[in-house]
Structure 1
Amino acid sequence: MALSILLAAPCLPGTARAELPKPADFTVEYFVTDEAGDRVRPMTADDHQRFLNRARCQCGQQVGIDIKLVNPPDDPTHAFNALIGTQCASAETMLAGPFRRCGALAVELVPTFAQGILAAFHPAFLAHGVEPSSPTRSVADPTITVISPCDLPVDGESGLWMCDPHENALSGCQKDEFFIGSTDALSALSGIPRLAFDFSPPLVEVQDLTVEPGNGAVELSWSVPTSGDIQGYRVLCEEVDGGAAPGHDFPTPAATAAPDGQTYFTAGNLCGDQPFSTINLIAPPVTDPNTCGNGVVEAGEACDDGDNGDDGLCGTSCNLRVSPSLHALDWAHVCSDHIPFSTTSVVIGGLDNGKAYNFVLVAYDQAGNPRAHARVVTATPDESLPDLLPDAAEGCACTSSPEGHGLLAMSLGTLALLARRRRRA
């Protein structure tokens, strides 16, 4: 009898909890931060979908968040939990499940949320949860440990989760106590933005890359087996003898620039060896250690791309076949403007006759994650070879360097049109 009364107690009159807050009671804004973590500008809809790539995660370029309670409840002693991550409601109580608990942004009383919560977090929290043995869950604590590194190829959507803890003996938030989250059920018509993250290079791979030399220029051609997630291309080049870049000065994309679908980002170009912020990231174990070709640079290896080849950037003995800076896709080697995804050939001009050059084709997706084609092609322009670029008098729509280095890149479609005009004349 006593047991029956105990089990029924939560259902007795007077024990029902107050109604959960609504997403509309809060305003939430994400913002872009700079190298120091300072606020630069609010994130736009495009930023929500395309800003967060692998390089920004590797560099720890924090995402800022501004949370404000605009319709506070009557009880000022009430507290809310704000978390960041994926599937926070499930991970909070299913500690042995497929998800790990999310990073904690704030645990504050109603008056503090009414004044506004400003926080910033590492992009890794959007994709991965906190390691169970981590000494902290606070995203502001650099000693926090997150399950996986940024170079794991993952993508998805996640963001802010908020809960209103019951007044019971259970710690943390239970699944039914969340009222803001990135799942469809919690986000529908809420007005709370989600954040897309993409730490994966393009899945589609370029094939059949070739190069033909001309007078002061070369023509690269390639094919793509299917339509996919390639947004565009850039050609990178260097002198074979010495590895120097030709000096076509395309400015490196700014860390806080809005996504334009015409650039790619690497950690080296974005932050070098000075990440903007750091947390502890647990790398998965290497299944085949001390093996050239496993994709992990180990002792005695200069490189390891995982798809090493005799004509690749990294050789079959894990030796560099190009300069370290070209292998790292350093922006200083860029020698073409953005090439649209539908283009399968390009002419690179402004080259010295009689000098051999290496060329690498880099594809990138909408988030700016790059994938270098595994094959390096080499050619030597010569004045005795055909002119691949038309005369300036033809009025071409060529792409030129910001510093006036001359004609650098043109699609074959434009070249064919100019040729037809020349024949008609």
Structure 2
Amino acid sequence: MFDAPYRSRLLPLSVLLASPCLAGSARAELPEPSDFSVAWHVTDESGEKVRGMTERDHRQFLNRARCQCGQQVGADIRMTRPPADLAQQLQAMIGQECAVAETMLKGEHRRCGQLAVELVATYVQGIGAAFHPVFLAHGVALTTFSRRTDDPDALLAGGCDGAGEAGLWLCKPGENAHPNCQESDFFVAPDDALSRLSGIAPLAFDYEPPLTQPTDLSVEPGNGAVLLRWELPSAGDIAGFRVLCEEAEGGAAAGHAFAPPDLTAEHDGTHYFTAGNLCGDQPFSTVRLEPAAITDPGTCGNGVLEAGEACDDGPDNDPGGLCDPDCRLRVGPGLHALAWDHVCSAHVDFSEDSVVVGGLTNGTAYNFVLVSYDLAGNPRAFARVVTATPDSSLPDLLPTADEGCGCATNRDGHGLFAMSLGTLFLMLRRRARPRRASSTCP
């Protein structure tokens, strides 16, 4: 399907015969997507380009945490087949439905942010720009004067929410009294077939946690380990799970050492991301946002942390959850924030419904939280905390070294292992007699 700028080329034959001069109209003078090359880049905390985006990055790199931290997206735009007139002005925009938003100011979409407003000669030399990820989801507010993505005074009409596709739009202002582009002046749209063939592919963004959740989380203690089980949803957007844990008394992390996700590496779908883990309280870049409307202000359960509340998980507030119905924490603040030092299992595939967590101290009570995440790495904690106390008198849940122990040694010297229940069952069947699990593995 063609977008509006390209449909205008498909004029009825009768109109073409009646108006031979239409072949030289303003629309025919617009460049083609194939006249441009565009490259997207992953940037570091300073906004410097680190590497080009891969096909996987296009699909699952941009998540809510990267948006909240302002990890910018880099763009290199170059005109490879310039026209004879290098003094024409072209505008490069980033966002969704930019052509429609330019003329329908009261519609669903707001005007897109401007990456560049330059002469053709500048595009021929090449333009390097970067933008905050929020520009992919929302345009600028009607009350803002500046639309430049590099202007800190630009006011955005929304924040790090929503999911979809957005990308680069290019236009040439028409010969009229309007300094900005009209819908028919756009010649590059990221969801157009010709643009895709020319390599100007859109970027997928996902700023929403998984919609579905597992159910019936339970825990069974063993010797230096625990077994967690849950029921899987019939369908949903979960890519995997991690188990987080803490000592029930005092909320200290259990001492496991799983490497956090790399800021600029290609995301393989086995980690989750939070702003606290990614940038802490020091975002890499910021934008101004229109104040969001708060439903039932001052009410516990509206999902907004307000004065007098220690937490507010909205619909996930639960008597047995991380945050109770009175907006009081039932776990330590680090576990509630899904801090990475509380992770105590490796990635568990979305199709698994159990995991064994080892490396635990017998006689110590632990809280456990199951965290699901989608392909983009947006996490959602299951709204129930389970507690168990490993004990040396309980059955071994981990295989021993001579049975092919796959555990690793963490920084405190405890053996660390996580496995599915099916694998565990096969290992246990091979045992001739009960044996204690090894606390470390070679």
Same fold per superposition (TM over 0.5)? yes
Paired residue for 2:440?
Answer: none
SS of the equivalent of 1:119 reads: strand
Alignment equivalent of 1:218, drawn from 213, 222, 226: 226
Contact 1:59 / 1:275 at 8 angstroms: preserved in 2?
A: yes
Paired residue for 2:83?
Answer: 73
SS of the equivalent of 1:422 reads: coil
Q: CA deviation at 1:15?
A: 6.2
CA gap 1:327/1:98 in 2 versus in 1, 3 angstroms: same
Q: CA deviation at 1:26?
A: 0.6
Q: Counterparts in 2 of 1:4-23, with a 5 A limit?
A: 16=26, 18-23=28-33
The answer on 1:97 being equivalent to 2:139 is: no
The one-letter code sitting in structure 1 at the alignment partner of 2:126 is G
Alignment equivalent of 2:211, drawn from 183, 203, 215: 203
Q: Once the two structures are superposed, what CA deviation does each residue of 1:305-325 show, in whole Å capped at 9, x if it has no partner?
A: 012111100011100111111
Q: Once the two structures are superposed, what CA deviation does each residue of 1:310-349 show, in whole Å capped at 9, x if it has no partner?
A: 1100011100111111100000100011111111001111
Q: CA deviation at 1:227?
A: 2.4
CA gap 1:130/1:104 in 2 versus in 1, 3 angstroms: same
The answer on 1:256 being equivalent to 2:264 is: yes
Q: CA deviation at 1:78?
A: 0.9
Q: CA deviation at 1:149?
A: 1.5
Contact 2:227 / 2:357 at 8 angstroms: preserved in 1?
A: yes
Alignment equivalent of 2:348, drawn from 339, 344, 353: 339
Looking at structure 1, the residues matched to 402 and 196 of structure 2 have their Cα atoms a distance apart, in angstroms, of 57
Paired residue for 1:161?
Answer: 169
The one-letter code sitting in structure 2 at the alignment partner of 1:61 is Q
Looking at structure 2, the residues matched to 282 and 403 of structure 1 have their Cα atoms a distance apart, in angstroms, of 47
Contact 1:82 / 1:160 at 8 angstroms: preserved in 2?
A: yes
CA gap 1:79/1:412 in 2 versus in 1, 3 angstroms: same
Q: Counterparts in 2 of 1:89-238, with a 5 A limit?
A: 89-150=99-160, 153-184=161-192, 187-238=195-246
Q: Once the two structures are superposed, what CA deviation does each residue of 1:256-291 show, in whole Å capped at 9, x if it has no partner?
A: 121111000000000000000000112421121111
Unaligned runs of 5+ in 2: 1-18, 435-442
Alignment equivalent of 1:303, drawn from 306, 311, 331: 311
SS of the equivalent of 1:165 reads: coil
Looking at structure 2, the residues matched to 346 and 48 of structure 1 have their Cα atoms a distance apart, in angstroms, of 31
Looking at structure 1, the residues matched to 213 and 354 of structure 2 have their Cα atoms a distance apart, in angstroms, of 15
Alignment equivalent of 1:354, drawn from 353, 356, 363: 363
The one-letter code sitting in structure 2 at the alignment partner of 1:29 is A
The answer on 1:369 being equivalent to 2:378 is: yes
Q: CA deviation at 1:81?
A: 0.4
Contact 1:304 / 1:318 at 8 angstroms: preserved in 2?
A: yes
Contact 1:26 / 1:70 at 8 angstroms: preserved in 2?
A: yes
Q: CA deviation at 1:219?
A: 0.4
Looking at structure 1, the residues matched to 25 and 220 of structure 2 have their Cα atoms a distance apart, in angstroms, of 80
Q: CA deviation at 1:413?
A: 1.3
Q: CA deviation at 1:183?
A: 2.7
Taking structure 2 as the reference length, the TM-score comes to: 0.90
Paired residue for 2:415?
Answer: 406
Contact 2:191 / 2:201 at 8 angstroms: preserved in 1?
A: no
Contact 2:244 / 2:335 at 8 angstroms: preserved in 1?
A: yes
CA gap 1:418/1:175 in 2 versus in 1, 3 angstroms: same
Q: CA deviation at 1:255?
A: 1.2
Q: CA deviation at 1:422?
A: 2.5
SS of the equivalent of 2:170 reads: strand
Moved more, 408-417 or 12-21: 12-21
SS of the equivalent of 1:410 reads: coil
Paired residue for 2:284?
Answer: 276
Q: Counterparts in 2 of 1:285-324, with a 5 A limit?
A: 285-306=293-314, 307-324=316-333
Paired residue for 2:275?
Answer: 267
Looking at structure 2, the residues matched to 76 and 85 of structure 1 have their Cα atoms a distance apart, in angstroms, of 26
CA RMSD of aligned residues (A): 2.1
Q: CA deviation at 1:181?
A: 1.1
Q: Counterparts in 2 of 1:28-43, with a 5 A limit?
A: 28-43=38-53
The answer on 1:54 being equivalent to 2:64 is: yes
CA gap 1:160/1:400 in 2 versus in 1, 3 angstroms: farther
Paired residue for 1:328?
Answer: 337
Q: Once the two structures are superposed, what CA deviation does each residue of 1:170-199 show, in whole Å capped at 9, x if it has no partner?
A: 231111111111233563523212100000
Q: CA deviation at 1:32?
A: 0.5
Looking at structure 2, the residues matched to 229 and 412 of structure 1 have their Cα atoms a distance apart, in angstroms, of 22
CA gap 1:391/1:177 in 2 versus in 1, 3 angstroms: same
Paired residue for 1:5?
Answer: none
Taking structure 1 as the reference length, the TM-score comes to: 0.94
Moved more, 246-255 or 30-39: 246-255
Alignment equivalent of 2:74, drawn from 51, 57, 64: 64
CA gap 1:217/1:424 in 2 versus in 1, 3 angstroms: closer
CA gap 1:166/1:414 in 2 versus in 1, 3 angstroms: same
Q: CA deviation at 1:10?
A: 13
Q: CA deviation at 1:395?
A: 0.9
Paired residue for 1:3?
Answer: none
Alignment equivalent of 2:426, drawn from 403, 414, 417: 417
Q: CA deviation at 1:390?
A: 1.5
CA gap 1:17/1:340 in 2 versus in 1, 3 angstroms: closer
CA gap 1:402/1:353 in 2 versus in 1, 3 angstroms: closer
The one-letter code sitting in structure 2 at the alignment partner of 1:105 is L
Q: CA deviation at 1:421?
A: 2.4
Contact 2:95 / 2:113 at 8 angstroms: preserved in 1?
A: yes
CA gap 1:382/1:77 in 2 versus in 1, 3 angstroms: same
SS of the equivalent of 2:42 reads: strand
CA gap 1:43/1:13 in 2 versus in 1, 3 angstroms: closer
Looking at structure 1, the residues matched to 121 and 130 of structure 2 have their Cα atoms a distance apart, in angstroms, of 20
